[in-house]
Structure formats: structure tokens, C-alpha cells
Amino acid sequence: MADTSSCLSLPFIQPNQAQKHVTHNEALRILDVLTQLAVLTDDQPAPPATPAEGDRHIVGDAATGAWDGQDGRLALFENGLWQYFDAKPGWRAYVTGREALVVYDGSEWIDLDSDELQEIAAFGLGMTSLPTAPFSAKINGAVWTALYQADGGTGDMISTLNKETSADDAGFVFQQDFGTRALFGLFGSDDIRLATSANGTDFRDGLIVDAATGVVEQPNLPRFKGVTNFDNYSAADVWTTIAINDAEFNDQSALDAGTNQFIAPVAGSYVFGAALTFKENTSDQARMGARLLRNGVDIIAGSLHENTGPHVTEQTTLTFQTMAQLGAGDTVELQGRLRGFDGYFMADQTSFWGFKVG
């Protein structure tokens, strides 16, 4: 059996030992010195001239006097004498003289808040750090503030996220109960991306800024442009829904060619426009009109127009644009009318388009 404990070197009472109280009291004395460790100083090379009973110090570098040769050791003044203890890695002490917490790293005492605290493998604040996140914090708020010029700083506050190659990631991941719901940053390229996900697996880009040009793209913005690929016949004085059956582009499949309607995928403000080209059937005296209907009933304000001047077949065109506030699922369709005589709305020259703006 060893004579002392492995950590604090507390003396053990041995079998058949005489005066066991001496060994026991010595162990208690060492515990009294080393537990809840607080010292008066940790940077003094010489002992104080008039130490008080029970004073503790961490001996400073290049020690002199009674502390000569005791650099870095714990010094206790007791019974009129200085006694010394060797620290072990991980021991901590509070230095009351300068209100600082220090730790022994195996070779020297360092401040826990000093620049000398380097290359920590993991740090958990309020939690055990995660394997994939060596720095982890479980808190309800965090503030990063600039060091003001009056305090010796520059007044700036800059945070840097650095990645190794263009194909790597650098950015912010927003999660709900550790399921990813949004990404913002440089993910897989040098373009800035803002992407969202409802399930943490499938992501949709809401915004991309091209790294080379700075041009902003909104890949999933509801927008469309469609044309009719056949001449749409219209009887005289009858509003006719124009078959916009050929989409040049149709993001989020908002234009339904089967019903000839735009269907709003989300609520918001939308801009719409149309171009209708007249094609004669029996007379060029027909007068061409156009309108947009919301949900097949309501005429959208600003969309009701008529061209009353002389018409030239396959040339006269009526164009307009307007804005509408739509709810999710609202429909918009383009209708045309030929007043006085029948006729056609010309193929490939009659179009309908729109996009979300807010």
C-alpha cells in the first residue's frame, strides 16, 4: 500500500502505526491548504515582509529570499514557516489580489481569460461540446460587441467565417430541434445562398448572389410567361378565356395550361401583363378588349382595356399591365373580347405574363 494519495499526496495511516492522529491531522492540514484554493498573489518573486498565519501564494518567477528556488509552487505560511506544495495539471486557484482565476497547465500557471489560453480541443458552455462542434453553447442569448476606442479598441466588430476551397461550406445553419430549416452563406460554391427546407433534407434556394457578377437571382420566385400557340376564335361581343397553353418559363408551375390560369402559390403582391394581337375573320371593324379575372369572377382593377382605333389584321396589338394582391390559391385568367364582329386572337403573338413582387 502506498504511503500517500496519488492526487493531493495526503499521508495514509499505516497498519500498526503509532500516533495515528499525527498522520490524520497532516492529511487534514493539506486538504485545508489545497481545497477551495485561493491565493493572495501569483506574481511576486519574494515573500511579504510580515505574512499572516495561513497566507497562501503562488511563488512568482525568479524567486528570492525564503522563496528562492520555489518558482511556481504553492507557498503556505504556517506556524511561522513557509511550506511548499507542487501543483498538478488542472489545478485552479483564485488570485484575490488581482481578482483572476488561474490554472496550472503542467508547466506554468496561466490566466483562464488570458491570451495564453490556446489550442483548447473542446469547450462547452452550459453543455458538453458536441463531436461535430468542439465549441458548443446552450444559452438563451449572445452578444458580440466592438471594443470601443475609449477602451483601447477600434470600434469595429467583424466576424470571419473562412473555408478552404470553393466547394466547401462557410455559413450559418438555422435549425429547429436540431433539424435544419435554413442556410445562409457560401454552401458548395462562392455564391451567397439563402435556402430553406421544411424537412431538413430538401432545400429550395430563395436567393443566390453570383460571386463573379453580384447579380441577384431568385430561383423560386413565382413568375411565368406563356403564349397561345393557335388562333383563339372569339364570337362577337363575348368574353373569351384565351388558352395560354405554351409556357416560355413557369417557375413553381404557377401557370396551369390545362385551365389557362395562373394559380398563386403564396399570398402577396403580383404584377401581370398581357399582349393580344388581332386577327381578322369577317371584318377589320371589330374592336378588341382585354381583362383579367380573379377567381373567375372579379375583374382586377387596371386590367380592363379596349383598343377602339382601326385594326390591322395580325398587326394591331393591345397591351397592358397591372398589379394585384392575391391570396394563396387565387387564380388569374386572361380574357379577350371582339366588339361588333367576330375574329381571332393571333397565335404566338398573344401572351400573358406575371411575377411576385412582394
* Residue whose grid cell is 395560354: 244
Separation of alpha carbons 320 and 318, rounded Å: 7
Domain boundary among 83, 111, 139: 111
Is the pLDDT at 14 greater than 90? The verdict is no
Q: Tens digit of pLDDT for each residue in 212-243?
A: 999 999 988 999 999 999 999 999 999 999 99
Q: Are residues 227 and 352 in the same domain?
A: yes
In a 10 Å sphere around its CB, with 0-12 CB exposed, 13-18 middle and 19+ buried, how is residue 344 labelled?
buried
What's the pLDDT at 245? Answer: 93
Grid coordinates representing 325? 394582391
Residue 184 CB: number of other CB atoms within 10 A?
16
Which band of pLDDT confidence, cut at 50, 70 and 90, is reported for residue 19? low
| 37-51, 67-81, 115-129, 237-251: least confidently modelled range | 115-129
What is the total residue count of the chain?
358
The residue segments making up the domain with residue 42 are 36-111
Helices (H), 15-160: 20-34
Q: Are residues 344 and 231 in the same domain?
A: yes
Grid coordinates representing 181? 430549416
126 assigned to some structural domain? no
Yes or no: say if 200 and 193 are a contact pair by the CB < 8 Å rule: no
- For residue 344, give the nearest of 283, 272, 262, 261 by alpha carbon: 283
DSSP string, 318-331: EEEEEEEEE-TT-E
Domain boundary among 196, 217, 238: 217
Distance of alpha carbon 298 from its chain centroid, rounded?
A: 42
23 assigned to some structural domain? no
Separation of alpha carbons 119 and 135, rounded Å: 12
What does the pLDDT average to over 281-293? Answer: 94
Beta strands at 240-241 and 38-39: parallel, antiparallel or unpaired: unpaired
In a 10 Å sphere around its CB, with 0-12 CB exposed, 13-18 middle and 19+ buried, how is residue 145 labelled?
exposed
What's the pLDDT at 262? Answer: 96
Please tell me the pTM assigned to this model: 0.61
Which band of pLDDT confidence, cut at 50, 70 and 90, is reported for residue 117? low
Residue 275 Cα distances to 4, 252, 341, angstroms: 97, 23, 20
Q: Are residues 274 and 346 in the same domain?
A: yes
264 assigned to some structural domain? yes
Which band of pLDDT confidence, cut at 50, 70 and 90, is reported for residue 90? confident
Residue 97 Cα distances to 34, 63, 111, angstroms: 18, 18, 13
Q: Tens digit of pLDDT for each residue in 291-327?
A: 999 999 999 999 999 998 889 999 999 999 999 999 9
Q: Are residues 241 and 208 in the same domain?
A: no
Q: Which helix (H) or strand (E) holds 211?
A: none
125 assigned to some structural domain? no
